[in-house]
């Protein structure tokens, strides 16, 4: 495998990027049947790619053998219809181990998340991601957020590294992103990919789109694919009226609800999946479940989003 196939497939993405939640049974153990159903629905509903065992998929809570099992199920379920990208993280040695497990499970690429705990300098971060990229034949997307924030110069060096094909931004500093895009375009041209990786990325995607960043993760797609797809189509076609209606009537209230609890970027999304089915279980600690009132608000908000789509029809 070379980076080109994944780069080409993501460059031509015609739907949202799907970050499935990881399913657990009532005893807290992995539920691969429910996970398979969840992934299958996402692919059938029109996801452009499956990002398995990443942030929304509680990568932090998975044992290596659970991680490999989930990635393998995602690959089998996608069946080549869309690429499967798997998470990799922690310190360099463990990140390499997860990268190799993902490769063995048949993944098409890696999303390399920030290293655990440490505040490293640019030189150390560059070395970390280069070692991950060198460990397998899988193309690597580097995730910028928290303790992994890069200067434009470092991203140029990442883009020049064999096997590193893109940067996912979870920081939200548009000035920095503009300088990164400009620096890579002038100093390391060649199809480097960029992703908006902020929570509920639809809320900020108009701004990222203006920078030429068209790829974004969609947590909403996990539990309300019709709404996420309507937003994606409207953005692609320049349907400003529909975009504004969805942003004002659904996405802004959802972001405000998400802000009511720590970890809700995962646990509230998982509650949304349970509302629609399948039963994917609760989140593992240290995350916690949303309150009953917040789940009720989410159910009403999803219905409001569907009403907005019916109004548009």
188 is a domain residue: yes
288 is a domain residue: no
Tens of pLDDT along 68-126? Answer: 999 999 999 999 999 999 999 999 999 999 999 999 999 999 999 999 999 999 999 99
247 is a domain residue: no
Instruction: Please give the share of the chain, as a percent, with pLDDT higher than 70.
Output: 98
Cα–Cα distance, 44 to 219 (Å, whole number): 16
> What distances in angstroms separate CA 19 from CA 28, 35, 121, one per listed residue?
20, 12, 29
Tens of pLDDT along 23-37? Answer: 999 999 999 999 999
299 is a domain residue: no
Tens of pLDDT along 225-257? Answer: 999 999 999 999 999 999 999 999 999 999 999
305 is a domain residue: no
CATH of the domain at 32: 3.20.20.70
Contacts of 117 (CB under 8 A, 6+ apart): 147
Q: How confident is the model at residue 20 (pLDDT cuts 50, 70, 90)?
A: very high
Cα–Cα distance, 19 to 191 (Å, whole number): 23
- Which residue among the candidates 129, 168, 208, 231 is catalytic per the annotation? 168
168 annotated active-site:
yes
pLDDT on residue 313? 63
pLDDT on residue 5? 82
- Which residue among the candidates 98, 129, 143, 251 is catalytic per the annotation? 143
10 is a domain residue: yes
Instruction: Say whether pLDDT at 272 is over 50.
Output: yes
If one counts the domains in the chain, the total is 1
Instruction: Say whether pLDDT at 3 is over 90.
Output: no
63 is a domain residue: yes
Q: Is 54 exposed, middle or buried (0-12, 13-18, 19+ CB in 10 A)?
A: buried
Q: Which of 6-10, 101-105, 122-126, 164-168 has the lowest mean pLDDT?
A: 6-10
Q: How confident is the model at residue 12 (pLDDT cuts 50, 70, 90)?
A: confident
Tens of pLDDT along 175-233? Answer: 999 999 999 999 999 899 999 999 999 999 999 999 999 999 999 999 999 999 999 99
Q: Give me the mean pLDDT over the 291-301 stretch.
A: 98
Q: How confident is the model at residue 60 (pLDDT cuts 50, 70, 90)?
A: very high
Cα–Cα distance, 86 to 59 (Å, whole number): 9
Q: Give me the mean pLDDT over the 22-51 stretch.
A: 97
pLDDT on residue 277? 86
pLDDT on residue 1? 39
270 annotated active-site:
no
277 is a domain residue: no
> Which tokens hold the place of 168?
């996912």
Contacts of 74 (CB under 8 A, 6+ apart): 20, 35, 39, 50, 52, 53, 84, 86, 107
More reliable by pLDDT, 109 or 13: 109
- Expressed as residue numbers, the domain containing 94 is 3-223
Kindly report the pTM of this predicted structure: 0.96
């Amino acid at each position: 495998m070379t980076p080109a196939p994944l780069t080409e497939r993501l460059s031509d993405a015609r739907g949202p990027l799907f970050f499935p939640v990881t399913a657990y049974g009532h005893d807290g153990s992995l539920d691969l049947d429910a996970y398979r159903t969840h992934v299958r629905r996402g692919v059938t509903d029109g996801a452009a790619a499956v990002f398995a065992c990443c942030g929304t998929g509680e990568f932090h809570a998975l044992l290596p053998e659970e991680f490999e099992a989930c990635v393998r199920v995602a690959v089998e379920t996608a069946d080549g219809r869309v690429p499967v990208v798997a998470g990799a993280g922690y310190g360099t040695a463990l990140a390499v181990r997860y990268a190799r497990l993902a490769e063995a499970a048949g993944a098409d690429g890696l999303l390399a998340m920030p290293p655990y705990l440490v505040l490293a300098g640019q030189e150390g971060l560059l070395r970390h991601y280069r070692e991950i990229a060198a460990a397998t034949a899988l193309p690597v997307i580097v995730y910028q957020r928290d303790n992994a924030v890069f200067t434009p110069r470092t991203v140029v060096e990442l883009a020049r590294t064999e096997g590193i094909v893109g940067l996912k931004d979870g920081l939200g500093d548009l000035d920095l992103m503009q300088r990164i895009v400009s620096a890579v375009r002038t100093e390391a041209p060649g199809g480097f990919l960029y992703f908006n990786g902020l929570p509920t990325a639809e809320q900020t995607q108009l701004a990222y789109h203006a920078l030429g960043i068209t790829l974004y993760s969609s947590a909403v797609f996990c539990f309300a694919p019709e709404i996420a797809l309507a937003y994606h189509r409207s953005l692609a076609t320049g349907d400003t009226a529909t975009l504004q209606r969805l942003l004002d009537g659904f996405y802004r209230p959802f972001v405000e609800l998400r802000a009511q609890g720590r970890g809700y970027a995962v646990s509230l999304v998982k509650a949304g999946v349970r509302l629609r089915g399948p039963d994917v279980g609760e989140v593992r600690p240290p995350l916690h479940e949303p309150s009953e009132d917040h789940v009720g608000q989410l159910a009403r908000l999803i219905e409001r989003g569907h009403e907005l789509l019916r109004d548009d029809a």
